[in-house]
Structure 1
Amino acid sequence: MISRYRTIGTTALVLASLTAVFAQTRANGVASGHREILLQTTQSWNCKPYTHYPTGQPQLTTIKLTIAPHAALPWHTHPFPNVVYVLSGTLTLHDKASGKTQVVRQGQAVGESVDDVHRGESGDGPTVLLITYAGTPGVPTSVPAAGEKSEY
């Protein structure tokens, strides 16, 4: 019987301690976050390895890009690595030289190719992308292929 009271007492002490910890966390607003890795890669979606970052001062650029339904962006390249996260819709990536394609859906991320001519195409609804570029000041994030208009 004493063992049972000890177990109940220990459980009550643990619960009281946890309650105090949660109360303290709420009181000062400090808490650990939940991490979910969306993409960690050393190569682009079309299997081309990332070989280097640009030299000079780093500049991160994040854009939100909305593409109308059933629309294809102009052919273009990127001079440095970037990550695309699909907020809504679908994006079909096309590599011009190899003909490779990859479909990226809402909630998925993909590393884009560097110096390879490619484009994205939306699906049945609008496609909304969050794109983060790891570049340098003064260097454009997207470069139109010969004869093409700007991607954005």
Structure 2
Amino acid sequence: MKKLSYGICFALLFSCNVWAADLNAIQIETLAKTNLSWDGSHLPSYSHGTPEVTILRIKIPPGAQLPLHTHPEINAGVLLSGELTVVTEDNRFLHLKAGESIVEVVNKWHYGKNESQEIAEIIVFYAGAVDMPITIKK
């Protein structure tokens, strides 16, 4: 019994050190923290109603352009690969490269286009409300 107790103690001791070493390797980087969208506009207050989070993975082929649209809810994303240009109706634009984040414009007509030679893949997080659309096409 004594040997079993020692064995358990050693196992716990060594597993804690490995776990602690793994924690030291964890890296956290804030990609975006703001109350402004990418064009400098203030973000609106959150919608009333039951909160609903939507996370989309969007893949835009080379040369493709999304239709003109707007978002009534706050959203933000990270471009995983490729390049993407977002253009507002008044011709303001933001060019994103892989790894960069975007806090999207809200209630403003805009579109995205992929002018690169590879698929633009972006993950977008929408902080909306139940029964509210996240995108409205013109």
TM-score (structure 1 length as normaliser): 0.75
Identity across matched positions, percent:
27
Of the candidates 100, 110, 126, which is equivalent to residue 102 of structure 2?
110
Q: Which runs of 5+ in 2 are unaligned?
A: 1-11
d(CA) in 2 for partners of 1:29 and 1:57? 41
Does 1:144 pair with 2:137? Answer: yes
- Does the aligned pair in 1 maintain the 2:58–2:122 contact within 8 Å? yes
d(CA) in 1 for partners of 2:98 and 2:58? 14
Number of equivalenced pairs: 125
d(CA) in 2 for partners of 1:27 and 1:118? 47
Task: Say what the alpha-carbon RMSD is for the aligned residues.
Answer: 2.3
Q: Equivalent residue for 1:13?
A: none
d(CA) in 2 for partners of 1:109 and 1:21? 41
d(CA) in 2 for partners of 1:126 and 1:21? 47
Q: Equivalent residue for 1:56?
A: 49
- Does the aligned pair in 2 maintain the 1:90–1:104 contact within 8 Å? yes
TM-score (structure 2 length as normaliser): 0.82
Does 1:123 pair with 2:99? Answer: no
- Secondary structure of 1:72's counterpart equals coil
Structure with greater proportional strand content: 2
Q: Which runs of 5+ in 1 are unaligned?
A: 1-19, 146-152
Deviations 1:75-110 (A, max 9, x none): 0000111002100001101000x2101101100001
